Amino acid sequence: MHVIQLYFRLIQISLLSRMQYRANFIAGILGLIVWNVINLGLIGIMVTQFTSLKDWTLWELVFLYCLWILGHSLYSLFFSHTRQLENYLIEGTFDQFLLRPASPLIQLLGRELEYIEIADMFIGLTGISLAYAQLGLHWDVWKWSFFIIAIISGTIIVLAINLLIACSAFWTGRSRGTFIIVSPFYSLVHQYPVDIFGNAFRIIVSSLLPVAFMNYYPALVLLDKVDHASSGWWLSYMSPVVALILLGIVSGVWRLALRQYTSSGS
Amino acid sequence: MKLFWAFARQHFHATALYRVDFWLRVASTPILMYGTRWVWITLYTQRPGAFGVSLQQMVTYAVLSMAIENLFYTGPQYYMAQQARSGAIDADLLKPLDFHFHMLARSTGEMLFRIIVIALPAMLVGYFLFDLQLPATLQTGFLFVVAILLGYLVNFHLEFLLGSVALVTLEIHSIDWAFHATARFFSGQFVPLWLFPGVLGLLANILPFRSTFSTPLSIYTGVVTGGAVTEAIGFQMLWLILLFIISRWLWERVQARIVLQGG
């Protein structure tokens, strides 16, 4: 309980310090909304001219895009600064975490709140609602629960993967390079259903870098697109399992990293 | 002119020294090429030869657009905003080169660096792995290069105008956001402009943004041929002249209003 209290106290402090710049807040939110509307607009133009993308219609693609955003927005709202870990390590900020009488992980996670990402959540919810209406979906209780679980799993998956990459800085000193390399995978999976790509890509984003579990696989379930005749149909339900496995891996790696950590000195 | 190239060369070397990230971005470009190529292959199975453009032309357009992605946005506006905020802009104004041309030299150095380090290797990768076709004739290739350079100049002036505004407002990020979002949409970088319906298509054809991606790529792939090529390049030149005049005019006014901060 103490840990959670501490986390929210840290978040509160960071929020107060950020709220001093209100104009930036509003401009940032508008910027994010415009950016996403333009992205969706481009997909929209493409799909309407060609009627669909394989068997994905326009609103199904909007659903896919927004399901990613919902999972990702929770991550970027609370945890996006985990990418900064390498800087904390290099600048010695991390040593401060170790000196204070609280878990270093909580201090890292509670360091910032990207409140601008509220805009992402708004876009995600709007997009999903529109798609739900346009596609004439009628979910039962089971599907609604799966929807909620899928979003939380998505958040955990992207947090765990990014934290793992950030942790690599404990050994190599730098993690930014890896983030640059994985970002095109993120943007492709975010915008397009992975079944249009080749097998190599599908295998990578379903195993080594399992971001397809953030939107593609749960969307198959939620949009009734699971093909039960195919051999990999069960993958569609695996998001929560993948999230749990990643959570296990990342906590192990984090502990290992702390044990062998030596300060950058000076 | 000699001075111009001295500044360009200097920035070329400065860029080459500090940009590890850029080398990594070279590594991520092939993944995007791979992705967009599949998107178009998938779309074309539903409607082969859509809008009179073959799949081969479309794939070349998309893959090449990824290769030249980083050429245009050299970002003089960030430099200008940063110099204004720190007060260091007074040193820039004292330099023996007109500020506008100094910025152009900086950006040109940056762009040449990006051509050599990013675009050319990425084009080779596109050629060997992702069906990037060579231009039909040597002349087409030459016109493509001309269109790229004009596109770069048009975009530079748009960015310089943003930077000039930033010198007065001392805030760059939100206007820059709006600029990039608009450019992303109307440049034809991701979705070629011939797919744009009605009013959107009309707007895309009037705005200067198509100079960067749409015009050079359409020339390269042979979607635009014959007299239309001259027309497209003429359109770029027209915007360039217009933006050049506006830039000079605005800069004269901004220069008089620059407030030096700090001490």
C-alpha–C-alpha distance, residues A37 and A124, integer Å: 11
One-letter identity of residue B210 = R
Give me the pLDDT at residue B176, please.
Answer: 84
Contacts for B205-210: CB closer than 8 Å, 24+ residues apart: B207/B182, B208/B154, B208/B158, B208/B239, B208/B243, B209/B182, B209/B183, B209/B185, B210/B186
Which chain A residues are closer than 8 Å to B27 by Cβ?
180-181
Per-residue exposure over B114-140, b if at least 16 CB sit within 10 Å of its own CB, e if not: bbebbbebbbebbbeebebbebeeeeb
The size of chain A, in residues, is: 266
Choose the weakest-confidence range: A45-54, A87-96, B119-128, B195-204: A87-96
Written as one letter, the residue type at B58 is M
pLDDT score for B21? 65
> pLDDT at position B234, please?
97
Name the minimum distance, in Å, from the CA of A173 to any CA of chain B.
14
Above 90 in pLDDT, residue B134? yes
Contact B43 A45 (CB under 8 A): no
* B184-223 pLDDT tens trace: 899 999 999 999 999 999 999 999 999 999 999 999 999 9
User: B116 lies in which domain range?
Assistant: 2-261
B81 pLDDT band, cuts 50/70/90, is: confident
- The single-letter DSSP state of residue B10 is H
Q: Which amino acid is at B126?
A: G
pLDDT band at residue B263 using 50, 70 and 90 as cut-offs = very low
| Mean pLDDT, chain B, whole residue set | 88
d(CA A9, CA A94): 19
- Unique residue bearing structure tokens 């326009």: A58
Sorted by sequence, the CB contacts under 8 Å of residue B259 that are 6+ apart come out as: none
CA B64 – CA B147 distance, rounded (Å): 14
Nearest to A154 by CA among A61, A238, A39: A238
Q: What is the pLDDT of residue A266?
A: 47
Of A27, A53, A185, the CB nearest to B43: A53
Spell out the alpha helix ranges (H) of chain A. 2-18, 22-50, 58-79, 85-91, 93-99, 104-109, 118-134, 141-172, 176-191, 199-206, 216-222, 239-260
> Is the pLDDT score of B151 beyond 90?
yes
Question: Per-residue pLDDT tens for B86-102?
Answer: 778 888 888 878 889 99
> Exposed/middle/buried for A43, CB within 10 Å: 0-12, 13-18, 19+?
buried
**Pairwise CB contact (< 8 Å): A196 & B28:** no
Burial class of residue A140, CB neighbours in 10 A (0-12, 13-18, 19+): exposed
Minimum CA–CA partner of B48 in chain A: A50
Give the residue-averaged pLDDT of A141-159.
96
Whole-number Å distance between alpha carbons of B88 and B86: 5
* pLDDT band, very low/low/confident/very high, at B16 (cuts 50, 70, 90): low
Residues of chain B positioned with their CB less than 8 A from the CB of A201: 34-35, 38
> Which of A23-32, A226-235, B66-75, B148-157 has the highest mean predicted lDDT (pLDDT)?
B148-157
Q: What is the sign of the dihedral through the CA atoms of A150, A152, A155 and A159?
A: negative
Helix or strand or coil: residue B70?
coil
Is B184's Cβ below 8 Å from some Cβ in A?
yes
Which residue, B133, B138, B117, is CA-closest to B217?
Answer: B133
Tracing tokens 């309980």 back to the chain, one arrives at: A1
Q: How far apart are CA B55 and CA B43, in angstroms?
A: 9
The predicted pLDDT at position B166 comes to 83
Residue whose structure tokens are 């290992």: A256
**Cα within 13 Å of Cα(B66), Cβ side:** 28
Q: Which of B32, B173, B185 sits opposite A184 (nearest CB)?
A: B32
**A119 to chain B: which residues are within 8 Å by CB?**
none
* Measured CA angle at B59 (ends B55, B65), to 5 deg: 145
- The answer, yes or no, to whether residue A69 has pLDDT greater than 90, is yes
The mean pLDDT value for B118-127 works out to 91
Which residue in the block uniquely carries the two structure tokens 């909580």?
A106
Q: pLDDT at residue A158 above 70?
A: yes
B59, pLDDT greater than 70? yes
Which residue in the set B42, B171, B195 is minimally distant from A54, CB to CB? Answer: B42
Paired residues of A69 in beta bridges: none
CB contact under 8 A, A177 and B20: yes
Residue A265's pLDDT is what? 55
Residue of A nearest to B36 (CA): A188
B259 lies within 8 A of chain A by CB: no
Q: How many domains, in total, are found in chain B? A: 1
Q: What are A238-264's pLDDT values in tens digits?
A: 999 999 999 999 999 988 988 887 766
- The pLDDT-based confidence of B33 (bands split at 50, 70, 90) is very high
Whether A53 and B42 lie within 8 Å, measured CB to CB: yes
CB contacts of B195 in chain A (<8 Å) are 45-46, 49
Q: Is B197 on the interface with A (CB under 8 A)?
A: yes
**Share of residues in chain B with pLDDT > 70 (%):** 95
Cβ distance of B174 and A27 shorter than 8 Å: yes
Cβ pair B107, B74 in contact under 8 A:
yes
Return d(Cα B90, Cα B82) in angstroms, integer.
12
Cα A252 from chain centroid (whole Å): 20
Q: How far apart, in whole angstroms, are the C-alpha atoms of residue B29 and residue B31?
A: 5
Q: Please, which residues 13-32 of chain B have a Cβ atom closer than 8 Å to chain A?
A: 20-21, 24-25, 27-29, 31-32
Q: How many CB atoms lie within 10 A of CB B29?
A: 22
Helix (H) or strand (E) segment spanning residue B24: helix B20-46
Q: What is the pTM of this model?
A: 0.87
Rounded to two decimals, the ipTM of the complex is 0.86
**Cβ–Cβ below 8 Å for B28 and A184:** yes
Q: Taking CB atoms and an 8 Å limit, are A53 and B27 in contact across chains?
A: no
Compute, in degrees rounded to 10, the torsion defined by CA atoms A37, A144, A211, A80: 70
Long-range contacts of A12-19 (CB under 8 A, 24+ apart): A14/A110, A14/A111, A14/A112, A14/A113, A15/A113, A15/A115, A18/A112, A18/A113, A18/A115
